[in-house]
Amino acid sequence: MISVADFNLTLNGKAILQQVSVAIEAGEVFVILGPNGAGKSSLLKVLAGEFEAYKPAVQFHQRPLSSYAPRELAQLRAVMPQAVHLDFPFLAEEVVSMAIPYVGKAEVNRRVDEALALFDVRHLAQRNYLTLSGGEQQRVQLARVLAQILTAAKQAEQTGGLPPLLLLDECTSSLDLAHQQQVFKVLRRLARAVKMAVVAVLHDLNLASHYADRALLLSEGKIVQQGPIHQVLTQSTIEAVYQTPVEIIERPDRYPVIVPL
Amino acid sequence: MRLIKCAPCGLSVLAVVVLLMAVVSMTIGAIQIGWLDVVLALFGLSDNAQWNWVVQEIRLPRVILGILVGAGLAVAGAAMQGLFRNPLADPGLVGVSTGAALAAVSVIVLGSTYLAGWTAMTGYYAVPIAAFLGGLTITWLIYQIATKDGRTDVALMLLAGIAINAIAGAATGVLTYYSTDEALRSLTFWTMGSLASATWTDVLVSGIPILLAIGLLPYFALTLNAFLMGERVSEHIGFNVKLAKRAIIVLTALSVGAAVAVSGVIGFVGLVAPHLVRLLLGPDHRWVLPGSALMGAILVILSDSIARIIVAPAELPIGLVMAAIGGPFFLALLLQRRNRVGF
């Protein structure tokens, strides 16, 4: 669905990513892992097309990213950055509706409602976004990015249109335990149901172990390991990359748990 | 939070208030004319020929100029606040108005010597176009200084504004003191503003660019809404951010330049008006932009009326009255942001 091959990213003379090749498929939850400063967010930004000069190198649905018109791209893929700063007192539902400026009012209301409900923030629809807690704001932002591609998702399911893509940078960093699980359950369900692809930068290895299909482990801008999640999350690899001892607890019929020692 | 739920109704109410205040404002002056006579005189129907003349040639251009200047400054303030993603941006505070004033004064003082080529080229519009270019330069400069990676550093923005205000203010002062040019109005005019010498020519010169800005800026209302969450976010939502940014900077400068060229520097309109509108109608730019234009008109007509009444038969500079209202308002805003639960 989206891919780069043998990709190098250099910013201000510094090599940020080196020889990165990755191909994300429709219907999967793909996580990007690695220590701080490994280049995870940069890779996500490359896929999001934030570096103008590198857009031709990114293939999205068999076309270079640079060949898409802004609106065409917006309907097929949404991006949630690590942090969103908003200084104006919009209602939560208005924040979500900003993602879909080109559809009619009734359709906006329906989609906003659906997106808010998916992330358990429907009851906050009429609240001032600035008065919400960090976790609530994050869930409203998740609803916003999902609302943006909801139509493409429905079309992909019903008429076999191009499935959409979600790019998420640490989208659960402010969430409590239950909501972290709930968010990834929703994301995985959508990935399966409508063949949507989810690419998430994550720090929590256990969330990755629980919900991801495949993973890419980065260190200092290079790929250390890539593949099915449980082939990536091995004790030796984690210890080498994160420079800290861990134990992996294998459990029958459950995802393995990673415990730092 | 949001006093009026139905935004179009709110805009209509504001429009009616503008009209009412315009009529009331035209009753005030050296000769007291009742509001009914003002309305009659507007159409030349008053029995008193002097009243007809006073209303049509002196008071009407003044009040229309006030409406235009107020609307122009306020809509520019609202758009700048969106562009800078911060409710404290104001053409006066960040130096755009003083930059425009400096350019205008330069053309008037140096128009027959160093800048003779410029005046020959632009003719009648030499001053307003210079003011526009001055405003454009400063807006662009402040944006470059204060914005990095799609985020605005508010402290940098305001501090850069202080520096630019000081530099442009000093240069304007020097030019006015050394000039003997009769075309140049007093330093007070350029630093504190006035509508006292309003003519129909002023209305025409400033009206076109200001109405252009008021007419075109709302096309970018949805982009500005998304812009409040960051440049990247609005790009990912599918807006043409580069185009919108350039257009907003140009239209803002156009509006401020035109207002400054005919009325000098009137501060705080661009800060107070959008703020009151957000309290009334919420922060959505589809309502904030037209609402600010109307609210700005109300504020300027009100200040101009107060400026004429308070020391009659003399007049205060209108900028003084606006500063007396806007200064405390600005402080209150800062205090509120200290406590930081919405506004």
Distance, in Å, from the CA atom of A120 to the CA atom of A185, rounded to the nearest integer, reads 12
pLDDT at B177 over 60: yes
Q: Which domains does chain B have, with CATH numbers?
A: 7-339 (1.10.3470.10)
Q: Chain-centre distance of CA B309, in angstroms?
A: 22
Q: Taking CB atoms and an 8 Å cutoff, what residues of chain A touch B342?
A: 89, 128, 130-131
Tokens of B53: 């003349």
Segment A171-198, tens digit of pLDDT: 999 999 999 999 999 999 999 988 899 9
Task: Determine whether the interchain pair B228/A86 forms a contact, defined as Cβ–Cβ distance below 8 Å.
Answer: yes
Q: Chain-centre distance of CA B216, in angstroms?
A: 16
State residue B147's pLDDT score.
78
Residue B155 contacts A, CB cutoff 8 Å: no
Q: Are A76 and A165 in contact (CB under 8 A)?
A: yes
Closest chain B residue by Cα to residue A90 = B283
Residue type, B115: L
Segment B13-68, tens digit of pLDDT: 999 999 999 999 999 887 888 888 888 888 888 888 888 888 888 899 999 999 99
| A96, A98, A148, A168, best to mutate vs chain B, most B CBs in 10 Å | A98
pLDDT at B341 over 60: no
Q: Which domains does chain A have, with CATH numbers?
A: 2-260 (3.40.50.300)
Range list of H helices, chain B: 7-27, 35-42, 49-53, 60-83, 96-110, 116-122, 126-146, 154-178, 187-192, 200-216, 221-227, 231-236, 241-263, 269-281, 285-309, 318-339
Q: Taking CB atoms and an 8 Å cutoff, what residues of chain B touch A75?
A: 238
Segment B209-264, tens digit of pLDDT: 999 999 999 999 999 999 999 888 999 999 998 889 889 988 998 999 999 989 98
Which residues partner with A223 through β-bridges?
A218
Distance, in Å, from the CA atom of A223 to the CA atom of A21, rounded to the nearest integer, reads 8
Closest chain B residue by Cα to residue A86 = B229
Q: Taking CB atoms and an 8 Å cutoff, what residues of chain B touch A133?
A: none
Task: Determine whether the interchain pair A87/B86 forms a contact, defined as Cβ–Cβ distance below 8 Å.
Answer: yes
Tokens of B275: 């703020």
Closest chain A residue by Cα to residue B228 = A86
State residue B342's pLDDT score.
43
How do strand A214-219 and strand A59-60 relate by DSSP bridges? unpaired
Which residues partner with A248 through β-bridges?
A258
